[in-house]
Amino acid sequence: MNNTEDIWGLMARCAFNEATNEERDLLQQYLHENPHLQQQYAWLLQILESKQEFDSQHKEPEIRTVQRILEKASREQEHNVLRIRKIRAKRVWAAAASVLIIIGLGYFLKLGSGEREPITRPIVTNAAPMTDPVMLADGSKVWLNSDSKLFFESDFNGATREVRLVGEAFFDIVRDTLRPFIVHVNELNINVLGTAFNVKSYEEDTEIQTTLYRGLIKVTKDKDDRFHPIMMYPNQKMVIPKKVLTKEYISVLNNVDVISLISVDSTIQEAERVETAWIYGRIDFKSESLEQIARKMARRYKVKFVFEDDAVKQLSFTGSFKNESLEAALRALQMAKPFSYKIKADEVIISSR
């Protein structure tokens, strides 16, 4: 230590029992070489320790205050119990009422499969993913990838917070157990407790992918009791083939094999993960087929991919693009595995050779 400023920190640490043994020895050395400092350090210690003792007021505890606190505590607890009861009662009535309305509607109209009308205008993205999240009325944040749409299916002041997603988005939802947050994707409902997760389901995708980062979500299916709800825990990724959700497949819905729950490597930082690379402007792919990669590239570069044969579609790659041009990206892929490409206007034609 040759910085004179450090002596004050050292004295403070020694005086308040925060010093290491080495630091104590060092201070002793200073004091030894500076007898006048020794005197003054002794004064300092005396001054520092001569403080008002809080405990000197350790007289008879303020019985009355404590009594008041205890009374307030029991009032508050009763109040909470009442509030919960009230809310529960309200919900029962709300549920009963909605059943009545549905029955009523069913009686007079034929209940169509009709899409619910979005209340607010949807949020739509085009070529580029959003760099800043959309702030929803409840404070939740949603990042939308390119070519994605988010519809609002309930006003956020009501009993539920519901949105419908087409495309891909990352959700960071504010916890509110009294107003569940539901993301509708195709026929699936993702029921959310305060949580962060990524959902991907573009129209051309053959499967719905959900990756949970934090919290807990429950996935159910619209108007289908036979679909066994799926609970997802952090760092799990669920892949559901869309065809499973169609009528023909209803009988196999409980067959776990078709729905896969994959563990995501939680040691990878969120910013580095494949599922949410798009938030950071990256296209990441891990053992993905050229066909899958092409779909991601098509959205980014606003081009169409045409495959001249099936074999080339199955070539598998692992990698990541960020700012590369379309050509640079294709050339990089070519370096890994041989294929040829031609770019015509907004079409990329790919063949085995």
Partner 1 sequence: MLEKGLKVEAEGLLKLIDRGDEAAFAKLYALYSKRLTAFSISILQSSEMAEEVVEDVFVKLWNKRGSLVSIDNISVYLYIATKNQTLSYLSDKAKKLITAPFDDLNTSIEAIHQDPHSLLISSEMLARVNAAIEALPPRCKMIFKLIREDGLKYKEVAAILNISVNTIDAQMAIAVKRICQAMGISKNAIKFPREKETL
DSSP string, 118-181: PSEEEEE--SSPPSSPEEPTTS-EEEE-TT-EEEE-S-TTSS-EEEEEEEEEEEEEPP-TTS-E
81 near partner 1, rule: CB under 8 A: no
Q: Which is nearer to partner 1, 15 or 306 (CB)?
A: 15
Residues 19, 9: Cα–Cα separation, whole Å = 10
Among 44, 174, 216, 332, binds partner 1 (CB under 8 A): 44
CA angle 156, 160, 161 (to 5 degrees): 50
Does 76 contact partner 1 by CB under 8 A?
yes
Number of residues that bind partner 1 (CB under 8 A): 50
Contact, 184 vs 162, CB < 8 A? yes
DSSP 3-state of 115: coil
* 175 near partner 1 (CB under 8 A): no
Nearer of residues 58 and 353 to partner 1, judged by Cβ: 58
Measured distance CA(353)–CA(345) in Å, rounded: 21
* Shortest spacing between CB 262 and partner 1, in angstroms: 33
Alpha helices, H only, the chain: 6-15, 21-33, 35-49, 63-108, 290-301, 310-313, 326-336
| Beta-carbon-side half-sphere exposure of residue 71 (alpha carbons within 13 Å) | 6
Instruction: Give least dist CB 37 to partner 1, A.
Output: 6
Q: Which is nearer to partner 1, 30 or 280 (CB)?
A: 30
Indicate whether 234 belongs to the interface with partner 1 (CB under 8 A).
Answer: no
Interface stretch with partner 1, choices 9-17, 128-136, 184-192, 278-286 (CB under 8 A): 9-17
Q: Distance between CA 115 and CA 112 in Å, rounded?
A: 9
Strand pairing of 120-124 and 149-152?
antiparallel
Give the nearer residue to partner 1 in terms of CB position, either 57 or 323.
57
Near partner 1 by CB under 8 A: residue from 20, 21, 24, 63: 63
Establish if 248 lies at the interface with partner 1 (CB under 8 A): no
Q: Which is nearer to partner 1, 51 or 247 (CB)?
A: 51
Rounded Cα distance between 264 and 307, Å, is: 31
The verdict on 118 binding partner 1 (CB under 8 A) reads no
Using CB under 8 A as the binding rule, whether residue 13 contacts partner 1 is answered as: yes
Q: Which residues pair with 164 in a beta bridge?
A: 151, 184
Interaction of residue 47 with partner 1, rule CB under 8 A: yes
Using rule CB under 8 A, residue 61 touches partner 1: yes
Among 50, 113, 177, 269, binds partner 1 (CB under 8 A): 50
Burial class (CB in 10 A: 0-12, 13-18, 19+), 317: middle
**Minimum distance from CB of 14 to partner 1 (Å)?**
10
Specify the residue, 51 or 121, whose C-beta has the smaller distance to partner 1: 51
Q: Which is nearer to partner 1, 78 or 203 (CB)?
A: 78
**Residues 256, 251: Cα–Cα separation, whole Å:** 12
Residues contacting residue 150 through CB under 8 Å, at least 6 positions apart: 122, 123, 124, 134, 142, 144, 163, 164, 165, 169
- The CA–CA distances, whole Å, from 16 to 19, 21, 290 equal 8, 13, 64
Number of helices (H) and strands (E) in the chain: give both, helices first: 7, 16
Residues 17-36 within binding reach of partner 1 (CB under 8 A):
17-18, 22, 26, 29-30, 32-34, 36
Among 11, 136, 188, 238, binds partner 1 (CB under 8 A): 11
Stretch that binds partner 1, among 1-9, 142-150, 161-169, 230-238 (CB under 8 A): 1-9
User: Which residues are near partner 1 by CB under 8 A?
Assistant: 1-2, 4-9, 11-13, 15-18, 22, 26, 29-30, 32-34, 36-37, 40, 43-44, 46-52, 54-55, 57-58, 61-63, 65-66, 68-70, 72-73, 76-77
